[in-house]
Structure 1
């Protein structure tokens, strides 16, 4: 069994599960927990990292589709098995409590739910429902 969540580095608490970095770079600030797991395949590529949201979303979703849910599940499942914990929290930097913020972690969450049927809940505060879920930005 694998249970996925998303959050930002600053909001994560160890009781929530295993922290997993899904960013291109590591945090340059002190964390109150050990961050030893990374899934680089879930980090956005440099080629579209600074693109506007629609282009970014299209390119990121294309990368996810290319990797495939099976391969991503294998990578995440290996972490869960190694840590003996089914709850993984996929982390990045954006503060989604701010109305103007958006983030690849929620694009992943919506793609994962569409692809596998498994929901990925955000553990930190969000300014509103994911715009990706409504299909408005896809």
Structure 2
């Protein structure tokens, strides 16, 4: 069975596992690793992107609920098999070590834990408002 982690594009190292894009767009700079896999359904929608956090979070969680845990589990398993690595690292842009930053990768992590009981640990540093592995 696969294991999920989160991080930002800029901090990911190939030794951490398989990088998985969960953003609307890909990084516009050259990455020092290959980004072969994506789960577009875990990216926020343009419809609410840029809205206030409460609106964004409600819409994003509803989006995840519409797909459901089984859909995501199947996609993650496909990626783990294709990559021959059970460690999947869901990536986005935000630097969560900066005060006041938040992002959908940790919203996804909290949703996944609530749905499956499996923790999704952040591999990068987290600032105020976060505990390692959870979204407060």
**RMSD of aligned Cα (Å):** 1.2
Q: Which runs of 5+ in 2 are unaligned?
A: none
Q: How does 1:28-43 map to 2 (within 5 A)?
A: 28-43=28-43
After superposing on structure 2, the runs of 4+ consecutive aligned residues of structure 1 that deviate more than 2 Å are: 128-134
Q: Which runs of 5+ in 1 are unaligned?
A: none
Q: Which residue of 1 aligns with 2:4?
A: 4
**In 1, Cα distance between equivalents of 2:14 and 2:50:** 31
Tell me the SS of whatever aligns to 1:126. Answer: coil
Scaled by the length of structure 2, what TM-score is found? Answer: 0.95
**In 2, Cα distance between equivalents of 1:129 and 1:33:** 30
Q: Which residue of 2 aligns with 1:58?
A: 58
**In 2, Cα distance between equivalents of 1:76 and 1:34:** 17
**In 2, Cα distance between equivalents of 1:116 and 1:130:** 20
Deviation by residue 1:75-106 (Cα, 9 ceiling, x = unmatched):
11100011111000000000000011100000
Q: How does 1:108-127 map to 2 (within 5 A)?
A: 108-127=108-127
Q: Which residue of 2 aligns with 1:17?
A: 17
Q: Is the 8 A contact 2:100 2:128 kept in 1?
A: no
Scaled by the length of structure 1, what TM-score is found? Answer: 0.93
Q: Which residue of 1 aligns with 2:69?
A: 69
**In 2, Cα distance between equivalents of 1:48 and 1:110:** 19
**In 2, Cα distance between equivalents of 1:20 and 1:65:** 20
- Count residues with an aligned counterpart: 134
